[in-house]
């Protein structure tokens, strides 16, 4: 373990950092009432936040919750806007420190990475290896153990004040995903262990970053101990490539045992060893060595959403810009697969203009 880093906390509450954090938090959201209200008295709000952080009187507010159903049902927890500014202020300071420790082939919530880069890397490995092991983790965000995460943070961070802020944010979101977690008893657990604080609210800037900190331990184990040359991870979906099935089956057993040390479990039945030539289901696509297809559920979800938005536009309930933004976003995503004919067939019918102009357009 390298030397732990100290004297970081003043960088978090420095006014310049809070200002940059507010700009990041507000990006694409300035039309929202909570953002507008905070920015109306921006300097005053940031100075108050700075004082609370400096004096360690800061306490997170209550979350707002909503459920999304695509591609699967998830509970999204939205922190108050001023708390989101704090999340960005914290990650601005410590994310670069951990970024240097992350492996190349983890692709979620990192600059220059993302879904499509992960798909490209997957396809590159599919051209060099005949078999792949597909893995994902059971209830990953609800299952993340706070004590394990804090242990991983303290291996790198030696600043007690900064760790106080991490603890404060973790405690503030500790109850958000309680109902989403199916309790697992690991070997040697006591009843007290079963009640350990768990879970990171989906949607927080800190949660996305902390997920990478948490699973960096797995990444290092797979690369250094298992010596897997072909490995790709996006959040808790990850792929291991190898020249033979027996190696992948042995690695699967080893991963199950290692995840238990992180108090996580693998979807064992769904974590299958398959030939790459049959196509690799990954991030909404089916990836082959020489082409890609969109998965059926992605197509049906867009077709359903497109029909609904077309109907709302024709009825004059939404602007064309709302419909167009949804279509263009999906087209940009779908263009990363061989979908020209599919896109043409879905979008071919002419859109009927509304008989009555959109009431709120003026």
Mean predicted lDDT score pLDDT of the chain:
88
Least confident of 136-150, 210-224, 341-355: 341-355
| pLDDT tier for residue 360 given thresholds of 50, 70 and 90 | very low
| pLDDT at 362 > cutoff 50 | no
Among candidate residues 110, 109, 91, 84, the one with its CA nearest the CA of residue 8? 91
What is the rounded CA–CA span in Å between residue 239 and residue 242?
10
| pLDDT tier for residue 229 given thresholds of 50, 70 and 90 | very high
Q: How confident is the model over 8-12, as a mean pLDDT?
A: 97
Give tens-digit pLDDT for 314-335: 777 777 777 777 767 766 666 6
Q: Contact at 8 Å (CB) between 154 and 163? A: yes
| pLDDT tier for residue 344 given thresholds of 50, 70 and 90 | low
pLDDT value of residue 167:
96
Burial of 288 (0-12, 13-18, 19+ CB in 10 A): middle
pLDDT value of residue 74:
74
pLDDT value of residue 206:
94
pLDDT value of residue 361:
40
Give tens-digit pLDDT for 248-279: 999 999 999 999 999 999 999 889 999 999 99
Tell the residue number behind the tokens 């979800």, with chain if given: 301
pLDDT value of residue 179:
80
Q: Which of the two residues, 130 and 327, has the higher pLDDT score?
A: 130
% of the chain residues with pLDDT over 70: 85
Burial of 312 (0-12, 13-18, 19+ CB in 10 A): middle
Give tens-digit pLDDT for 42-93: 999 999 999 999 999 999 998 888 777 655 667 788 899 999 999 999 999 9
What is the rounded CA–CA span in Å between residue 213 and residue 203?
16
Q: How confident is the model over 212-225, as a mean pLDDT?
A: 97
Tell the residue number behind the tokens 């692709």, with chain if given: 107
pTM over 0.85: no
Mark out the alpha helices in the chain (DSSP H runs): 9-13, 15-26, 33-40, 42-55, 81-99, 115-126, 140-143, 146-154, 160-172, 191-194, 205-220, 245-261, 296-314, 320-334, 340-347
| pLDDT at 151 > cutoff 50 | yes
User: How big is the chain by its Cα radius of gyration, in Å?
Assistant: 23
| pLDDT at 340 > cutoff 60 | no
């Amino acid at each position: 373990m390298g030397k732990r880093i100290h004297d970081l906390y003043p960088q978090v509450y420095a006014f310049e950092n809070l200002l940059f954090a507010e700009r990041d938090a507000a990006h694409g959201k300035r039309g929202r009432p909570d953002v507008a209200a905070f920015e109306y008295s921006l300097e005053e709000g940031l100075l108050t936040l700075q004082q609370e952080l400096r004096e360690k009187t800061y306490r997170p507010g209550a979350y707002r919750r909503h459920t999304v159903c695509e591609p699967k049902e998830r509970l999204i927890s939205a922190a108050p806007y001023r708390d989101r500014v704090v999340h960005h202020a914290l990650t601005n300071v410590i994310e670069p420190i951990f970024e240097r420790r992350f492996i190349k082939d983890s692709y979620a919530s990192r600059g220059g990475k993302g879904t499509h880069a992960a798909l490209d890397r997957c396809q590159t490995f599919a051209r060099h290896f005949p078999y792949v092991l597909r893995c994902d983790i059971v209830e990953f965000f609800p299952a993340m153990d706070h004590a394990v995460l804090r242990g991983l943070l303290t291996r790198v961070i030696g600043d007690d004040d900064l760790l106080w802020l991490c603890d404060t944010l973790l405690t503030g979101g500790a109850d958000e995903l309680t109902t989403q977690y199916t309790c697992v008893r690991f070997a040697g657990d006591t009843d007290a262990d079963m009640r350990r604080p768990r879970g990171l609210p989906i949607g927080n800037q800190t949660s996305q970053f902390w997920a990478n900190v948490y699973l960096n331990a797995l990444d290092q184990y797979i690369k250094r101990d298992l010596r897997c040359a072909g490995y790709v991870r996006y959040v808790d979906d990850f792929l291991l490539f190898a020249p033979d099935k027996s190696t992948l089956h042995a690695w699967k057993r080893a991963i199950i045992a290692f995840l238990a040390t992180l108090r996580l479990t693998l979807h064992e039945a769904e974590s299958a060893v398959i030939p790459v030539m049959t196509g690799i289901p990954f991030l909404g696509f089916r990836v082959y060595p020489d082409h890609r297809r969109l998965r059926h559920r992605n197509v049906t979800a867009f077709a359903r959403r497109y029909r609904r938005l077309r109907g709302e536009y024709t009825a004059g309930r939404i602007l064309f810009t709302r419909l167009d933004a949804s279509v263009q976003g999906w087209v940009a995503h779908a263009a990363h697969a061989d979908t020209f004919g599919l896109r043409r067939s879905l979008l071919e019918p002419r859109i009927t203009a509304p008989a009555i102009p959109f009431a709120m357009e003026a």
